[in-house]
């Protein structure tokens, strides 16, 4: 389950269905990723074709990422069975 967000835009979308602060051409993909993340009980559950799931390293060790577009990723950490600190970022 998703327990917390870093990104206010993602939180507004998740809690209020307000996509006004998200890239319009990526809303469907973001919704699919968040739905899957909410249903996951382990980070590896996000390892699906096309999502390019991977653990992050360096300063972001302990976080994971999935691909939204060429530049953007949804990143998240994991606590027990919950996704935490879910963010939408360009970390390249």
Nearest CA to 40 out of 83, 88, 87 is that of 83
**Domain tally, the chain:** 1
Q: Give domain status of residue 2, yes or no.
A: no
The Cα 89–Cα 92 span in angstroms is: 9
Which residues of the chain, if any, have pLDDT below 70?
Answer: 91-92
Q: Give domain status of residue 3, yes or no.
A: no
Q: Give domain status of residue 84, yes or no.
A: yes
| 24: number of Cβ within 10 Å | 8
Q: Give domain status of residue 1, yes or no.
A: no
Say what the pTM is.
0.95
Q: Give domain status of residue 81, yes or no.
A: yes
Which range marks the domain in which residue 56 is found?
Answer: 8-89
CATH of the domain at 47: 3.30.2310.20
Nearest CA to 13 out of 30, 25, 29, 1 is that of 30
pLDDT the model gives residue 92: 65
Q: Give domain status of residue 19, yes or no.
A: yes
């Amino acid at each position: 389950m998703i327990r917390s967000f870093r990104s206010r835009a993602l939180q507004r979308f998740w809690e209020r269905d307000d996509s006004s602060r998200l890239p319009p051409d990526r809303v469907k993909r973001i919704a699919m990723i968040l739905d899957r993340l909410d249903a996951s009980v382990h980070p590896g559950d996000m390892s699906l074709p096309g999502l390019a799931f991977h653990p992050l390293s360096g300063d972001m060790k302990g976080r994971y990422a999935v691909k939204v577009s060429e530049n953007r990723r949804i990143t998240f950490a994991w606590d027990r069975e919950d996704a935490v600190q879910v963010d939408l970022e360009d970390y390249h």
